[in-house]
Amino acid sequence: MPNARGGIDLGGTKIQAVVVDGDSAVLGQARHPTPTSGGPADVAAAMASALREAAQATGLEPAALKGVGVGSPGAVDAHAGTVSGARNLPGWAGTFPLAEALAGELGAPVHLGNDVQVATDAEAALGAGRGRRSLLGVFWGTGVGGGIVLDGRPWLGRGAAGEIGHMVIKRGGRRCPCGRRGCMEAYAGRAALEERARELHAEGRKTDLFKLMERHGRPRLTSGIWARALEHGDKLAIELIDEAVGALGAGIASAVNLLDCEAVVIGGGLGVRFGEPGVERIRAAMHPHLFVDECPPAVELVALGDLGGAIGAALLAR
């Protein structure tokens, strides 16, 4: 297997590793929880162990891989091989030489990229965006991340492009986890939704969201808990998700008005969980805000699902 590559999607709750062949078909995979304490070196060790396990499933040693790509949150300096300010990871406010640390553990060259951008690149190359010259990836999860492909190439700006979650949809609006006001993420991100649900519940609004969370032994309102609450007709959950979809519609349509991209792909924990019916709702919510509404972009669900980030990371090692 001379062209086998590794890919690691580093998330705030899980580390997903894959080993793929030269055509990006997944040969082996492993998923480990992200350490919640310690520091960057502990996270790097957990990443190495996930990748080793994925490689084991294919009968390969990590050192035999052509390379290993990593999709990371925070500010990624691909050239220097460092990740800074990954605030949803333990003790990672500063700068850490992740590429060097991982390469030392695995014995293979390591390439870093931004988590959301590599997931968008994977959809552009292999998934729902195949054959498109321009693409907007929207990852609706704990936050709302975005990735951009323009003229067949990733658009990174000066390194921080694609922050679609922080498109302002309401001046002076709700406080966003980023500290500013009125961002799309303040209405649509899973973390913001949970905070809003807690506030309203504390004010006396009835909801089964937190009962469902306890019954299923979850530490937070996961995408699965939201989906169940909607199935049960929970009024508060319905109201908040309606508001989230409205916010996504306004924010994504505004981005499309600026970029005029051919397609939008929707992924992330909530995006994948709500699936095609959720995508249809986002499509409808975008429509009133589209400047050229007779020619909307294709809006599609990610085709690579949960593994898209790790498969996209492996593309960095081509």
Q: Give the Cα separation of 153 and 148 in Å (integer).
A: 8
- H or E segment to which residue 299 belongs: strand 298-301
Q: Give the Cα separation of 75 and 113 in Å (integer).
A: 9
Closest separation between CB of residue 135 and Zn ion, Å?
Answer: 23
Q: Give the Cα separation of 82 and 254 in Å (integer).
A: 32
Q: Please say whether the beta carbons of 257 and 289 come within 8 A.
A: yes
Question: Is 194 or 234 the residue whose CB approaches Zn ion more closely?
Answer: 194
Q: How many residues bind Zn ion (CB under 5 A)?
A: 5
Return the residues of window 158-197 that contact Zn ion according to CB under 5 A: 166, 176, 178, 180, 183
Q: Give the Cα separation of 122 and 212 in Å (integer).
A: 34
Question: Is 169 or 225 the residue whose CB approaches Zn ion more closely?
Answer: 169
The mark string for 43-82 relative to Zn ion (x by CB under 5 A, - otherwise) is ----------------------------------------
Question: Is 111 or 166 the residue whose CB approaches Zn ion more closely?
Answer: 166
Question: Is 180 or 220 the residue whose CB approaches Zn ion more closely?
Answer: 180
Closest separation between CB of residue 228 and Zn ion, Å?
Answer: 28
Closest separation between CB of residue 178 and Zn ion, Å?
Answer: 3
Locus of tokens 């055509």: 23
Return the residues of window 246-285 that contact Zn ion according to CB under 5 A: none
Closest separation between CB of residue 141 and Zn ion, Å?
Answer: 15
Q: Please say whether the beta carbons of 26 and 18 come within 8 A.
A: yes
Q: Give the Cα separation of 180 and 204 in Å (integer).
A: 27
Closest separation between CB of residue 183 and Zn ion, Å?
Answer: 3
**Shortest CA distance to 30 belongs to which of 216, 318, 312, 306?**
306
Q: Percent helix, strand, coil in the chain (nearest 5)?
A: 45, 20, 35
Question: Is 46 or 191 the residue whose CB approaches Zn ion more closely?
Answer: 191
Residue 198 dihedral angles phi and psi, to the nearest 5°: -65, -45
Question: Is 192 or 227 the residue whose CB approaches Zn ion more closely?
Answer: 192
Closest separation between CB of residue 218 and Zn ion, Å?
Answer: 25
Q: Which residues bind Zn ion (CB under 5 A)?
A: 166, 176, 178, 180, 183
